[in-house]
Structure 1
């Protein structure tokens, strides 16, 4: 995987980075909607900026950013990875775009009859997030590995905190209950468009958020 990145000239540049560029690049779906939203913002979309304390600034955004995890060849691929400055702090954030698409399999579904690689990967994720044992079976695995990716990148870039933010364009707040259960792992109560900031037992600071995007981007 190359570590050289070329600046974007517009939303269409994002399409080539998708696993299936023809299937996943559709009006009204998350990949295309997210690309138009972030490109039009020319910085942080306001709903993402609202997840941080005080004035915030986008330093760098990488669409479809891959982070290697233990136990296999398949990386965790975030819709957007962003380095964000707010006040005197910096944050490594993974952004998960959603419209009506689900979060994928639960831990119970993904970890059924697990291979040695899956056991190793889940152990790494739990260690990063300071979770004891296997998470509850109804937690969505995607939320776990996206958060683990943010924590790994925060260490790599030596930022003050990590963040995992769901950037949703669903007026019905589809799948918010999954995010709510995930936040409950840390003893937090999730609320739409309100950030949660916690300090893990590892000492690492983690920010979680559910940010509602402008639905006008669904039409682009």
Structure 2
């Protein structure tokens, strides 16, 4: 189905052998690969799809085609030594346009620390990282402290890769398998920084100060994959 996995340290890719191929690329393979949690659920969902999962395809205008998907895709950011490790990076074609999308899988796991928690008494590296993220996202200052830091660097990753692959837009899509839509309000609050009003299973697009087009969406996944 075109989902590929990265060989660490190279730019060479080989076809995935199925959901279990994804486990090796997790930051903590033994702890994170658990039934009912996002990593394993997302892998089974994407591997089972004939291209894009239906709910992700619905985020786009018109028929959407998956060109390439890279699980646990790392994107380098200024400041510090840690890359942004995105659950899935996908190149998508819809109509005559292309999109570089970062996909954040979620079940009940939160989006990690808030900006206030991550940026408390910041080191020089964190200051460099924050300036870099704000520049990419079009923020003139550090965003409100209740914003989730993970949403910032996942979205920045999409914009970086959109420039690298010269796509028409970047997208950050939360692929949630939570029946209760846990943490949607955190996502909606983040989207509001761009003037975007988001609703589950509908995407919203904005034009950033840089001129880049950004798509934000919350796709509801099939709960059956929680049992895999």
Question: TM-score range, shorter-chain basis?
Answer: over 0.9
Query: How many residues in Structure 1 have an aligned counterpart in Structure 2?
Result: 220
Map of 1:129 onto structure 2: 137
**Which of 92, 110, 129 is residue 84 of structure 1 equivalent to?**
92
Instruction: Find the counterpart in structure 2 of residue 22 from structure 1.
Output: 30
1:58-111: per-residue Cα shift (whole Å, max 9, x none)? 000000000000001100000000000000000000000000000000000000
Aligned to 2:198: 190
SS at match of 2:21: helix
Q: Which runs of 4+ in 1 moved over 6 A?
A: none
CA distance in 2, matches of 1:173, 1:2: 37
| Match runs of 1:1-220 below 5 Å | 1-220=9-228
Give the match's secondary structure for 1:72.
coil
Residue 63 of structure 1 aligns to a residue whose secondary structure is: strand
- Quote the Cα distance in structure 2 between the aligned partners of 1:80 and 1:2: 18
In 2, the alpha carbon distance for the partners of 1:24 and 1:7 equals 22
Provide the C-alpha distance between the structure 1 equivalents of 2:189 and 2:164, rounded to a whole number of angstroms.
Answer: 28
TM-score, normalised relative to structure 1: 0.99
The separation in 1 between residues aligned to 2:114 and 2:15, in whole angstroms, is 35
The 2-side partners of 1:119 and 1:7 are apart by 39
Aligned-pair CA distance for 1:5: 1.4
CA RMSD in angstroms, aligned pairs only: 0.6
Q: Shift of residue 19 of structure 1?
A: 1.0
Residue 118 (structure 1) shift: 0.6
- Cα deviation digits, residues 144-180 of structure 1 (max 9, x gap): 0000000000000000000000000001000001001
Unaligned runs of 5+ in 2: 1-8
CA distance in 2, matches of 1:6, 1:142: 28
Q: State the distance in 2 between where 1:63 and 1:132 align.
A: 32
Provide the TM-score with structure 2 as the length reference. Answer: 0.95
Instruction: Report which stretch shifted further, 180-189 or 207-216.
Output: 180-189
Q: Deviations over 1:90-146 (max 9, x none)?
A: 000000000000000000000000011111111111111111100010000000000
- Give the whole-Å Cα distance in 2 for the aligned partners of 1:46 and 1:143: 23
Q: Contact 2:196/2:205 (CA < 8 Å) preserved in 1? A: no
Tell me, in whole angstroms, the C-alpha distance in 2 between the residues paired with 1:143 and 1:90.
22
Distance 1:14 1:94 in 2: 16
Residue 55 of structure 1 deviates from its aligned partner by: 0.6
